[in-house]
Amino acid sequence: MEENDPLRELKDDTAMKKLLIYMKGYGKESVLGPLFKLLEASFELLVPLVMAAIIDTGVAGADRGYILRMGGVLLLLGLVGLAASITAQYFSAKAAVGFAGRLRHALFEKVESLSFTQLDMLGASTVITRMTSDVNQVQTGVNLALRLLLRSPFIVFGAMAMAFTIDTKSALVFLAVIPLLALVVFGVMLWTIPQYRRVQAELDGVLGKTRETLTGARVLRAFAREEEETAAFRKKNAALARMQRFVGRISALMNPLTYAIINLAVLVLLHTGALQVDAGRITQGELVALVNYMSQILVELIKLANLIITITRALASANRVAAVLSLPSGNAAMAKASAPLPAAPAGVPAVEFDGVSLSYENAGAESLSDVSFRAYPGETIGVIGGTGSGKSSLVNLIPGFYPATRGSVRVFGTDVKDWPVAALRGKIGIVPQKAVLFKGTIRENLRWGRSDAEDDALWDALASAQAKEFVEQKEGGLSAPVEQNGRNFSGGQKQRLTIARALVRKPEILILDDSASALDYATDAKLRRAIRAMEGGPTVFLVSQRAASIRHADKIIVLDDGQVAGIGTHEALLQGCSVYQEIYYSQFPKEAAAPAGKEA
């Protein structure tokens, strides 16, 4: 997916600018954190001077009292520095965690606003990686940047400045070392930035493979494909590991190179300083102070090197997060004002397709071609066809999940594109092909249909969905727990609960997308009778591969390879539609193919 990402070229500084708006409200913490770190650094720069005074005055003069007093000063500097450091840590962590929380919320909100087409292109594994791993990387980068981005350079240049106040000739060593170290640090950084991007992209692939394997575990075991999938996962994981080792080796060069340069500089400094001490230009304490300043530079440059590596990873992750946030909203109607639409005049179809065609993004051919029909209020429309004929694609156009490529889809006389999303979806009850329940209770799941529904309304919906009996047998009834994805219910029970969830809102249009496939024929028939008897008489779209489920519909749409093969009643299609005849006779003996009578 990364190769096809249109936003992959977003610059790192642009990405961070887009994300820094989520720091709003943490201005105080973002200022106080670095300031307290600079305060700690200032006290740290005074330590070598105190040490020099102890050596030159206290030790040289054998003044025990002076040594103790200056030791107290060192202790005080340490305690004040510790307090400043802890305070800085607190403010930096508060700002970074708050920023990451807001960023995750914004990312989740953006993902919720994307169209099905955009989600299909992104892929679940990419979205999950960006919302978890990438946001964590950005959080760590912000935290360390607030703490060290000013402190480390301040110590490096402060130590060099303090060295010049002690002895200019010896301090020239500092002047030579710092550019050399900067060359190493920034050279490694420029090399690793694109590599870390590739690592994160490779992580998407590993996560996608993991998710696919876990989701399809039963299928894998049924076909005894465990070894092949394990080998495929190992291949992807090995590729990720190789890339991480490669980047890690480059990053690992930074520490030994900087240590080598600093230690060589210390040797030169000791040699130069010893000559200066011997000539009487500086004292032994001042030489020790110079060595301490060099050690401080070493420590801070190592910190700075690690900080740059972390920021490099954070920038790569920020780029990926900003790419998702920069995607346009998937539904144009979401941006529209929610002004009420004029009431539909009498006689207007509940749903009308006018020359509708649909092509999925990057698909080679149309999934639906030139579909036209009308469904009036209270009618039951059956949709039937072979696997891949476009049945789900057709009903997904009604709530606007996918935009029509050509033609128009109208609901109560208004084009789907002109409906505010909330108003449109409020009129439609949808039961998707795959029954999805959320962790909680039965009551909480049913109230997804209408959040303010009373228990009586929930029981009525359960009765219509033929689910009342088994819910009553559950301990707690409506308060019975639902595990993640409803795994404590059978397939048929999950389907009936999802149907009840759609019925709770008393929709004007009800879409049942092959949502009774796990029910036996008798229960399926009872369900259809109950829906027809519902108050208000919704327009019902029944998508099914069972001819028995749709044979009593007012109108049946027969699809074949994305095209309408026939529209009419069961009797008319059985007489004049070869595709419908083939489907029907494959499920019922030819001698039993009589006009529809009483429902079984």
Q: Give the DSSP letter string of 292-344.
A: HHHHHHHHHHHHHHHHHHHHHHHHHHHHHHHHHHTSPPS-GGGGS--PPPPPP
Record the tokens describing residue 39, joined without a space. Answer: 């305060």
Record the tokens describing residue 289, joined without a space. Answer: 């102070």
pLDDT at 52 (0 to 100): 80
* Mean pLDDT comparison of 4-8, 165-169, 234-238, 521-525, highest-scoring range: 234-238
Q: Which of 513, 509, 226, 532 is nearest to 382 (CA)?
A: 513
Mean pLDDT for the stretch of residues 190-203: 77
Strand partners, 557: 383, 567
Name the one residue in this structure whose structure tokens are 């690690």: 306
Record the tokens describing residue 114, joined without a space. Answer: 């994307």
Question: With the C-alpha atoms ordered 282, 283, 284, 290, is the resulting torsion angle positive or negative?
Answer: negative
Residue 4 has pLDDT above 60, yes or no: no
Mean pLDDT for the stretch of residues 169-184: 79
**Interior angle at CA 535, CA 415 and CA 478, nearest 5:** 100
pLDDT in tens, 220-267: 888 888 888 889 889 888 988 988 888 888 877 877 887 788 788 888
- Where is 555: in which H helix or E strand? strand 555-560
Query: 101-105, 335-339, 384-388: lowest mean pLDDT where?
Result: 335-339
Pairing mode of beta strands 481-482, 440-441: antiparallel
Query: Are the C-beta atoms of 500 and 443 separated by less than 8 Å?
Result: no
- The amino acid sitting at 95 is A
Question: With the C-alpha atoms ordered 383, 389, 391, 393, is the resulting torsion angle positive or negative?
Answer: negative
Instruction: Tally Cβ neighbours within 10 Å of residue 587.
Output: 12
pLDDT at 1 (0 to 100): 39
Query: Are the C-beta atoms of 171 and 164 separated by less than 8 Å?
Result: yes
pLDDT at 541 (0 to 100): 92
Query: Are the C-beta atoms of 344 and 429 separated by less than 8 Å?
Result: no
Residue 597 has pLDDT above 70, yes or no: no
Tell me, letter by letter, the H, E, C secondary structure of 487-520. CCCCHHHHHHHHHHHHHHCCCCEEEEECCCCCCC
Residue 11: pLDDT band with limits 50, 70, 90: low
Running DSSP on this structure, what letter comes out for residue 406? E
Mean pLDDT for the stretch of residues 303-309: 78
The radius of gyration of the chain's CA atoms, rounded to the nearest angstrom, is 35
The burial of 543, by beta-carbon neighbours within 10 Å (0-12 exposed, 13-18 middle, 19 or more buried), is given as buried
From CA 372, how far away is CA 361, in angstroms rounded? Answer: 22
The answer for residues whose C-beta is within 8 angstroms of residue 470's C-beta and 6 or more apart is 493, 496
Q: φ and ψ at 412, to 5 degrees? A: 50, 45
What distances in angstroms separate CA 29 from CA 3, 308, 432, one per listed residue? Answer: 38, 22, 47
The proportion of the chain whose per-residue pLDDT surpasses 90, expressed as a percent, equals: 10
Q: Which of 574, 526, 566, 522 is nearest to 547 (CA)?
A: 574
From CA 432, how far away is CA 448, in angstroms rounded? Answer: 14
Question: With the C-alpha atoms ordered 52, 56, 60, 63, is the resulting torsion angle positive or negative?
Answer: negative
Query: Are the C-beta atoms of 96 and 139 separated by less than 8 Å?
Result: yes
pLDDT at 116 (0 to 100): 79
Strand partners, 542: 382, 512
pLDDT in tens, 460-493: 888 888 888 888 888 888 888 988 888 888 888 8
pLDDT at 5 (0 to 100): 47
For the question of whether the overall pTM of this predicted structure is more than 0.75, the answer is no
Residue 550 has pLDDT above 80, yes or no: yes
pLDDT in tens, 68-124: 888 888 899 889 989 998 999 999 999 999 999 999 999 998 888 887 777 777 777
Residue 7 has pLDDT above 70, yes or no: no
Query: Are the C-beta atoms of 502 and 510 separated by less than 8 Å?
Result: yes
Calculate the average pLDDT of the chain.
Answer: 82
Instruction: Tally Cβ neighbours within 10 Å of residue 284.
Output: 15
Query: Are the C-beta atoms of 134 and 142 separated by less than 8 Å?
Result: no
Residue 307 has pLDDT above 50, yes or no: yes
From CA 400, how far away is CA 260, in angstroms rounded? Answer: 64
Mean pLDDT for the stretch of residues 13-35: 82
- Where is 24: in which H helix or E strand? none
Residue 347 has pLDDT above 80, yes or no: no
Residue 600 has pLDDT above 50, yes or no: no
Residue 599: pLDDT band with limits 50, 70, 90: very low
Q: φ and ψ at 440, to 5 degrees? A: 155, -130
From CA 556, how far away is CA 599, in angstroms rounded? Answer: 17
Residue 194 has pLDDT above 80, yes or no: no
Residue 558: pLDDT band with limits 50, 70, 90: very high
Residue 9 has pLDDT above 50, yes or no: no
pLDDT at 403 (0 to 100): 85
Name the one residue in this structure whose structure tokens are 């450091």: 85
- The amino acid sitting at 312 is T
The answer for residues whose C-beta is within 8 angstroms of residue 203's C-beta and 6 or more apart is 129, 133, 240
Helical spans, DSSP H, in 253-283: 254-278
